[in-house]
Chains A and B, each alone.
Chain A
């Protein structure tokens, strides 16, 4: 398996633009997590899904952030409109079974909002 695949690896955009980050979890994993990493806050859990269903989105900072998982092999994290304070590395991770196993992280998407 190729592991968790994220795209894009790097994104530079201007304030106000829409940003879409994509994630393909490891096949067979039924839990998917979106994290944001900054120097100040460390690894923050934004939202997670079990069997494609959003379970807890309390970590999503604002309504500008939204996430979807239309099927077991694809998830998106969208920021609209983006702001400079959204600049961070966004990691997607998957695991199986939910809550009891190792988390496998993708390479991350480094977002810079100018």
Chain B
């Protein structure tokens, strides 16, 4: 089955700097790659996703890139703000099987 590895597990950045979180997946048939943000004590919520027919997608300060050949995808957050502090999860989907999540990255934005 699918296996998703996520790095780093923790990340600290200064406010205004960029943050990058990387994930790799194992199943070449995976075709949907969402990113979820979980604030402390809250539920995970989708912030952006990308499908395998697209290489990059942007939404204001966040962007995702996908390299199907290398089987990795990344989340980029620019001009980080304190409210970006949270745990971020990547995930991959293959066919009709459930999403497989990475272990998460705890991002701390230092003001």
Contact = CB atoms under 8 A, between A and B. Distances in A.
B104 A43 contact: yes
Interface residues of A, number: 16
Interface residues of B, number: 21
Nearest to B34: A102
Contacts of A108: 43
Contacts of B42: 107
Nearest to B46: A102
Contacts of A102: 34, 46, 49
B38 to A, nearest CB: 9
Contacts of A48: 98
A54 interface: no
Given A42-B103, A42-B104, A100 B93 contact: yes
Nearest to B106: A39
Nearest to B95: A99
A45 B100 CA distance: 8
A15 to B, nearest CB: 25
Interface string A74-107: 0000000000000000010000001110110111
A105 B43 contact: yes
B25 interface: no
Contact of B45 (A43, A56, A99, A105): A105
Nearest to A40: B103
Interface of B: 32, 34, 36, 42-46, 49, 89, 93, 95-104
Closest 3 pairs (CB-CB, A-B): A99-B96, A105-B43, A42-B103
Interface of A: 33, 42-43, 45, 48, 56, 91, 98-100, 102-103, 105-108
10 contacts: A42-B104, A43-B101, A43-B104, A98-B96, A99-B95, A103-B34, A103-B99, A105-B43, A107-B42, A107-B43
